[in-house]
Structure 1
Amino acid sequence: MMNLDISPKAVKPLSYLEMDDLETQEKVISLGKKLVSSLQQKDPDQVTTWMINYLSEQIERAKDGACEQAKKDCFETILQLWESHSTFPNGTRPFESFESISKALDSLNPESHIPRYYHQRDSNEPKNLDESDNWVEIAKRIDGTARTLITFMFEQAVLVSSSEETKEWINTLAGTIKSNEVNFILRFHAEKEPDEIENRVKNLTKRINNLEAFERLSKSIRHSLNEELRNLK
């Protein structure tokens, strides 16, 4: 059950919208309708049912040429409801299929330049490498390769989680509210400009080269593991 007070007195504007802009008004109304439709997808509890009815009534009042205050109350209610969309029941949350991806990204952060497992030593240290240092260098390369693989897997996860419903939400939100979820999805999924395509090609080529280098390294590591196993036997 969602615990949300969206009575007119409790609602505060989340951003300043051009209320005289008819296009903006239509977009906000469309967002309200989309929220109502989303909440109706599962059997709603009593509070959710009240919320659906309350918002539907406000939308009708705003559409029927009601006073400016009625329109303002409607828009602010829609914006307030969107602010709380992460508390919607399971099966009704916008972009719900991306939640696990986002949480994993927060934890793993594959785009960070800081190694996940290995932290670079002071660059002022002597650079005369012995055999142990060579193994450390291998560890650094594996760390970079792991990040390459993780980033690719997240990109694929976003692609397979996208649907017509995802596109509808993105289009509905366009021109109304800044959404971190939309930015997150478009970061992986947006149609790219020519210069972005060129950078993408360079990044993909670099990833492939890293993986090929890792394949060569893995053979060396496997050889060492097999050698140790033979010695133990």
Structure 2
Amino acid sequence: MVSLDRSEAVVELGKRLVTQLKVDSHDILSSWMAHHIAKLIDNVEKSSGESEAIEECSQAILSLWEHRAALPEHSRPLGQLEPIMRTLSALGVNQEEYHFYRPALREAAIADVDDATKEWLDLAIGLDYSARLLIRYALRSAAEKTASESESWVKLAREAGANEGADCRVVRFILDSDEEENEEKDIQAALEEKLTKLEGFVALANELVGNLKAELEAIKA
């Protein structure tokens, strides 16, 4: 049973869902759901806090929220995040394992080799980390505006005790600060580590660019 403390947030979530469903006024299912939820909310407001009306309304709203991915595209809360979600899932930037060439990098991390080789292997592992940083930065930059606009949905869903789902986690991933990611680390040390790894990435990229240009010039000659 939904507690009275949460019921107001649930009703507010329901009102926003009704507004969202009315965006696509030509969709019969959306119009029907909007009318149904609006009627249940009206019953709650007229019942002066009757528990049965609150429970029926809350369950309908929370169920609709949980199945929001099945709603028509133009009526879907947080639907604008779906391209970001697909990209984030495909790239797997939140995983703790190595992203690129996983078996090779796993072996490289424990390899017993000479110092010069070990230095190159460590650089390869560092590049994997740097690539993930750059991917996260690109995704956050691409979705920052959308995530900011969606933040109110996430906050309201949390207050209502609703099932947040993957789209809400994406919003938090985009908007959360590095301090939260490194809550058990010294923030300055974490930033310095990122900077060092990225500088190494840039240096090696520039070296490779130089080599490729030299090869191209040799071919042209």
Q: Assess if the C-alpha contact under 8 Å between 1:145 and 1:210 holds in 2.
A: yes
Q: Are the aligned partners of 1:85 and 1:94 in contact in 2 as well (CA < 8 Å)?
A: yes
Q: How does 1:76-225 map to 2 (within 5 A)?
A: 76-118=59-101, 119-120=104-105, 121=107, 125-128=111-114, 138-163=123-148, 165-176=149-160, 177-180=162-165, 181-190=167-176, 196=183, 199-225=186-212
Contact in 2 for aligned 1:138/1:217 (Cα 8 Å):
no
The whole-number CA distance in structure 2 between the counterparts of 1:211 and 1:129 is 22
Asked if 1:25 is matched to 2:11, the reply is: no
Q: Could you tell me which residue of structure 1 aligns to residue 29 of structure 2? A: 47
Contact 2:93 2:136 in 1 (8 A): yes
Letter in 1 for 2:201: F
- The 10-residue stretch of structure 1 (150-159 or 54-63) with the greater mean CA deviation from structure 2: 150-159
CA shift, 1:199, in A, is 4.6
Could you tell me which of 57, 60, 68 is aligned with 1:74? 57
Structure with the largest fraction of helix: 2
Q: Deviations over 1:118-140 (max 9, x none)?
A: 23226665403677x87665544
Count of aligned pairs between the two proteins: 212
Measured on the aligned residues, the alpha-carbon RMSD in Å equals 3.0
The AA in structure 1 aligned to 2:172 is L
Question: Any runs of at least 4 consecutive aligned residues in structure 1 with deviations exceeding 6 A, and if so which?
Answer: none
| TM-score normalised according to structure 1 size | 0.75
1:141 Cα deviation after fit: 3.8
Q: Does the 8 Å CA contact 2:150/2:171 hold for their aligned counterparts?
A: no
Deviation at 1:219, TM superposition (A): 2.6
Instruction: State the distance in 1 between where 2:68 and 2:21 align.
Output: 10
Q: Is the 8 A contact 2:14 2:61 kept in 1?
A: yes
Q: Which residue identity is paired with 2:158? A: A
- Provide the C-alpha distance between the structure 1 equivalents of 2:70 and 2:12, rounded to a whole number of angstroms: 21
Please give the secondary structure, in 1, of the residue aligned with 2:75. Answer: coil
Deviations 1:118-176 (A, max 9, x none): 23226665403677x8766554443332112101112223422234x424313322322
Deviates more, 1:181-190 or 1:77-86: 181-190
Kindly state the Cα deviation for residue 230 of structure 1 after the two structures are TM-superposed.
4.1
Residue 136 of structure 2 aligns to which amino acid in structure 1? Answer: T
Instruction: Give the whole-Å Cα distance in 2 for the aligned partners of 1:64 and 1:125.
Output: 71
Residue ranges of structure 1 left out of the alignment (5+ in a row):
1-15
Partner AA of 1:168 in structure 2? S
